[in-house]
């Protein structure tokens, strides 16, 4: 009984800690060479973090608060990405009040020139081509792609990747989901590409596409909230050694990236990152794997 | 020249050059974006055919005289006011996502179809004004002379007024045609992969903006020859009309 109770108690403490922004975590050692005093940031003494608006679950949670944030306010520190961001900030010596969230649409995050943020965290997948333009942190979440269809439609009974080829598929612009359709599923019809997740969901509801490819946590959100008759048909696993991963992005060559990597490494070592993922992606409990 | 010099000497120029003017990236995405551009061409060719006809009908309705035709005239005016006033992207979004959502049997769900419908609605309003300006520019004595020869009002309009009117408005018609060509890029919001959307896809794959330049080149490559052709058409017409007259 004790054996079960102790991990439970640890988990409960971690939940409480993450929910309050990690104020009481014991395992936070200072990172050598990475302290607030020595780091150069966009706004002195502050850590500016960019993300898109609206901020969607499950990546962001906690509901609306300060303007201009819609759906969820990252300042609340809830959801996977704010939780990771605040935990990293803490390890670099930035208190909660030192963190500034900057509205940064995807296109602005990737545009050349001086950035208005120190790093952006917005479900951006690492690819070697992208890393030529921006510096990526190491992974804070390893992600799989998944496909959502409507219940009762022919696509809902597909059980293999090859079975998806004859359907009209869609994805959001700028996502690796699109790359996955083109390079791995290779459908016979050219896929539809939407500017926003909402537009893609509208396309799915309207029957303009049969299947929507999104990352797995988003698939759970889409089927739970946005499309009542939606169904996760399955997920796709990455090839070995080619695991898709989300990283924070920095202006190319920004030395802060090295410090964020150290913070993430510490969070991985001490299990903090894993716990944050368990808390905020609890509902992401697997889906059939399509091969 | 001074601007070019200033820009290329700016501190951030190497970064901007790599991000916007990368020849390797340009060549790499050119085939894919050209293929996608065929959808733009298809959309504006089909749309323009309908626009030229519908806009002319609308302009004629709007220039009908007398109190009998007031309701028709009022409808035509309301139509033109509305569709010139609403941003194109809104019409495309509302029709493209809204109409198929009605889920009425027989309503097409094709995004290209609804994109074309939206562009026809909008540009019919614009082009009808161009036609109307042309019709108004024909002196009333022309119609009076035609009627005195025994032509009916319809015949006078068709064989005397409209031929003169249309000839005069060819340059502004081309103006709107070019506007239409560029607005085909807006159909991309519905999920159709046209040239601009394909360029966006390429940009998001490697975060390099040169691919937008490919799309820009394609649009320019098609509008410039068209503009020269119109210039030639207008000049030829003027030469023919002025044969034997004193200038």
φ, ψ of residue A233 to 5 degrees: the values are -75, -35
Q: CB of B200 within 8 Å of any CB in chain A?
A: yes
Mark whether A87 and A191 lie in a shared domain: no
Q: How far is B92 from chain A (nearest CA, A)?
A: 12
Which of A112, A192, A195 is the closest to B19 by Cβ? A112
Q: Determine contact, residues A183/A267, Cβ cutoff 8 Å.
A: no
**A83 falls within a domain:** yes
Which of A130, A195, A200 is the closest to B207 by Cβ? A130
| CA pair distance B150, B161, nearest whole angstrom | 15
Chain A residue at shortest CA distance from B17: A112
* pLDDT 10s digits, A211-263: 999 999 999 999 988 999 999 999 998 776 788 999 999 999 999 999 999 99
How is residue B68 written in tokens? 């009998």
Chain A residue at shortest CA distance from B204: A174
CATH, residue A166: 3.40.190.10
Percent of chain B with pLDDT over 90: 65
Cβ distance of A129 and B15 shorter than 8 Å: no
Confidence grade of residue B244 (pLDDT, cut at 50, 70, 90): low
Cβ distance of A110 and B207 shorter than 8 Å: yes
pLDDT of residue A90: 94
Cβ distance of A111 and B209 shorter than 8 Å: yes
Q: Determine contact, residues B212/B132, Cβ cutoff 8 Å.
A: no
Cβ distance of B191 and A127 shorter than 8 Å: no
Chain A residues with CB under 8 Å of B186 CB are none
pLDDT of residue A175: 84
Confidence grade of residue A160 (pLDDT, cut at 50, 70, 90): very high
Instruction: Report CA Rg, chain A.
Output: 20
pLDDT of residue B130: 96
Query: Side by side, which strands form the sheet with A99-103?
Result: A99-103, A47-51, A119-120, A249-251, A134-136
Closest CA to B205 of A127, A187, A212: A127
pLDDT of residue B246: 54
Mark whether A155 and A200 lie in a shared domain: yes
pLDDT of residue A22: 44
**A108 falls within a domain:** yes
Cβ distance of A112 and B192 shorter than 8 Å: no
Mark whether A103 and A31 lie in a shared domain: yes
CB pairs under 8 A between A and B: 85
pLDDT of residue A118: 95
Q: Is the peptide bond before A58 cis (omega within 30 degrees of 0)?
A: yes
* pLDDT 10s digits, A118-136: 999 999 999 888 898 899 9
Cβ distance of A112 and B205 shorter than 8 Å: no
Cβ distance of A202 and B201 shorter than 8 Å: no
**A84 falls within a domain:** yes
* pLDDT 10s digits, A9-37: 445 555 554 554 444 444 566 788 888 88
Mark whether A64 and A158 lie in a shared domain: no
Q: How far is B205 from chain A (nearest CA, A)?
A: 7
Cβ distance of B206 and A208 shorter than 8 Å: no
Q: What is the largest CA-CA distance in chain A?
A: 59
pLDDT of residue B233: 86
Give the 3-state secondary structure of residue A208: coil
Mark whether A125 and A228 lie in a shared domain: no
| CA pair distance A196, A220, nearest whole angstrom | 17
**A291 falls within a domain:** no
Mark whether A94 and A200 lie in a shared domain: no
Cβ distance of A173 and B15 shorter than 8 Å: no
Q: CB of B144 within 8 Å of any CB in chain A?
A: no
Q: CB of B205 within 8 Å of any CB in chain A?
A: yes
Average pLDDT over residues B52-72: 92
Mark whether A83 and A46 lie in a shared domain: yes
| CA pair distance B194, B208, nearest whole angstrom | 19
Q: How far is B211 from chain A (nearest CA, A)?
A: 13
Among B207, B208, B210, the strongest candidate for a mutation testing the A interface, having the largest count of A CBs within 10 A, is B207
Q: Determine contact, residues B142/B160, Cβ cutoff 8 Å.
A: yes
pLDDT of residue A209: 94
For chain A, the domain total comes to: 2
ipTM: 0.74
- Name the average pLDDT for chain B: 90
Average pLDDT over residues B118-127: 96
- Read off the pTM: 0.78
Mark whether A87 and A207 lie in a shared domain: no
Chain B residue at shortest CA distance from A203: B97
Domain ranges of chain B: 39-192
Cβ distance of B100 and A208 shorter than 8 Å: yes
pLDDT of residue A25: 46
Mark whether A32 and A159 lie in a shared domain: no
- Name the average pLDDT for chain A: 87
Which residues are bridge partners to A120 per DSSP?
Answer: A50, A249
Q: Which residue has the tokens 């003494």?
A: A45
pLDDT of residue A21: 47
Instruction: Please identify, in words, the CATH class of the domain defined by B39-192.
Output: mainly alpha
Q: Given a cut of 60, is residue B158 above it in pLDDT?
A: yes
Closest CA to A40 of A104, A101, A114, A106: A114
Q: CB of B208 within 8 Å of any CB in chain A?
A: yes
Which of B109, B204, B205 is the closest to A206 by Cβ? B109
pLDDT of residue A12: 52
Mark whether A54 and A196 lie in a shared domain: no
Q: Given a cut of 80, is residue B137 above it in pLDDT?
A: yes
Give chain A's count of helices (H) and strands (E).
Answer: 8, 12
Candidate from A121-125, B147-151, B240-244 with smallest mean pLDDT: B240-244
* pLDDT 10s digits, A61-102: 988 888 889 889 999 999 999 999 999 999 999 999 999 999
Q: Given a cut of 50, is residue B55 above it in pLDDT?
A: yes
Cβ distance of A112 and B12 shorter than 8 Å: yes
Range of the domain at A260: 2-141+245-280
Confidence grade of residue A56 (pLDDT, cut at 50, 70, 90): confident
pLDDT of residue B197: 92
pLDDT of residue A1: 44
Mark whether A167 and A255 lie in a shared domain: no
* pLDDT 10s digits, B26-35: 999 999 999 9
Mark whether A135 and A35 lie in a shared domain: yes
Percent of chain B with pLDDT over 70: 98
Give the 3-state secondary structure of residue A116: coil
Cβ distance of A174 and B207 shorter than 8 Å: no
Chain B residues with CB under 8 Å of A192 CB are 111, 190-193
């Amino acid at each position: 009984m004790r054996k079960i109770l102790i991990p439970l108690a640890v988990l409960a403490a971690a939940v409480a800690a993450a929910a309050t922004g990690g104020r009481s975590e014991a395992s936070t050692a200072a990172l050598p060479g990475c302290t607030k005093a020595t780091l150069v940031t966009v706004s002195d003494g502050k850590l500016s973090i960019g993300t898109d608006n609206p901020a969607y679950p499950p990546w962001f949670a906690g509901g609306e608060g300060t303007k201009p944030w819609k759906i969820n306010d990252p300042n609340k520190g809830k959801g996977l990405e704010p939780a990771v961001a605040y935990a990293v900030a803490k390890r670099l010596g930035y208190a909660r009040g030192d963190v500034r969230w900057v509205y940064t649409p995807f296109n602005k995050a990737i545009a050349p020139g001086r950035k208005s943020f120190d790093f952006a965290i917005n479900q951006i997948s690492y690819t070697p081509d992208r890393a030529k333009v921006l510096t990526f942190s190491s992974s804070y979440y390893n992600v799989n792609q998944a496909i959502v269809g409507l219940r009762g439609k022919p696509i809902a009974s597909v059980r293999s990747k090859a079975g998806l080829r004859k359907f009209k598929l869609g994805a959001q612009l700028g996502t690796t989901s699109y790359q996955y359709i083109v390079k791995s599923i290779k459908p016979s019809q050219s896929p539809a590409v939407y500017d926003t997740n909402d537009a893609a969901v509208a396309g799915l509801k309207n029957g303009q596409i049969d299947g929507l490819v999104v990352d797995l946590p988003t698939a759970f959100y889409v089927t739970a909230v946005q499309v009542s008759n939606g169904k996760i048909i399955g997920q796709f696993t990455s090839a070995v050694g080619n695991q898709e991963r989300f990283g924070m992005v920095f202006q190319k060559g920004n030395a802060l990236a090295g410090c964020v990597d150290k913070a993430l490494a510490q969070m991985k070592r001490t299990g903090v990152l894993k716990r944050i993922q368990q808390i905020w992606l609890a509902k992401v409990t697997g889906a059939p794997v399509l091969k | 020249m001074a601007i070019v010099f200033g820009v290329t000497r700016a501190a951030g120029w190497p970064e901007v050059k790599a991000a916007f003017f990368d020849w390797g990236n340009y060549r790499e995405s050119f085939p894919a974006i050209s293929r996608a551009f065929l959808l733009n061409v298809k959309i504006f060719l089909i749309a323009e055919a309908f626009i030229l006809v519908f806009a002319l009908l609308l302009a004629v309705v709007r220039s009908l005289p007398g109190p009998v035709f007031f309701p028709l005239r009022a409808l035509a005016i309301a139509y033109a006011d509305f569709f010139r006033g609403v941003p194109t992207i809104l019409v495309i979004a509302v029709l493209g996502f809204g109409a198929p959502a009605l889920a009425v049997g027989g309503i097409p769900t094709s995004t290209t179809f609804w994109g074309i419908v939206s562009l026809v609605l909008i540009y019919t309003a614009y082009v009808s004004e161009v036609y109307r300006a042309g019709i108004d520019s024909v002196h009333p004595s022309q119609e009076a002379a035609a009627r005195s020869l025994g032509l009916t009002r319809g015949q006078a309009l068709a064989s005397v007024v409209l031929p003169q009117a249309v000839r005069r408005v060819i340059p502004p018609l081309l103006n709107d045609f070019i506007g239409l060509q560029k607005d085909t890029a807006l159909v991309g919001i519905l999920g159709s992969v046209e040239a601009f959307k394909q360029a966006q896809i390429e940009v998001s794959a490697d975060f390099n903006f040169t691919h937008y330049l490919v799309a820009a080149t394609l649009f320019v490559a098609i509008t410039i020859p068209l503009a020269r052709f119109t210039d030639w058409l207008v000049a030829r017409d003027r030469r023919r009309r002025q044969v034997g007259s004193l200038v």
